Amino acid sequence: MRILDPTTSVERVTVAATSVTGLAGQRVALLTNQWKSWDAVTEMLASGVRERHGARSARSWDIPISTAAPESVLEEIAATSDVALVGLAN
């Protein structure tokens, strides 16, 4: 008898993220999954982080709805942002 095991071992990777104590002076990236409701929330967040929390800038980035973001987009976000806010809505 041959037994086929569909499971595989998973390599666990731990990445320590830097804590964010505030948004004042920060460049904020807002990642949107292109759902219309999240687009609306993203617009409100962008003005809120600038006006109420003193963020230096807030820029929206469109991430494909059903696939991972291209590595080049993630690299650009990392290079031009201090903080990223990611959300889903539908």
pLDDT tens for residues 25-44? Answer: 999 999 988 788 888 888 89
Provide, rounded to the nearest whole percent, the portion of the chain with pLDDT above 90. 42
Q: How many CB atoms lie within 10 A of CB 30?
A: 22
pLDDT bracket for residue 90 (50, 70, 90) = low
28: three-class secondary structure by DSSP: strand
To 5 degrees, how large is the angle CA 8–CA 14–CA 20?
145
Residue 19 vs residues 2, 56, 77, 83, 84: alpha-carbon distances, Å: 50, 18, 18, 10, 12
Name beta bridge partners: 30.
60, 85
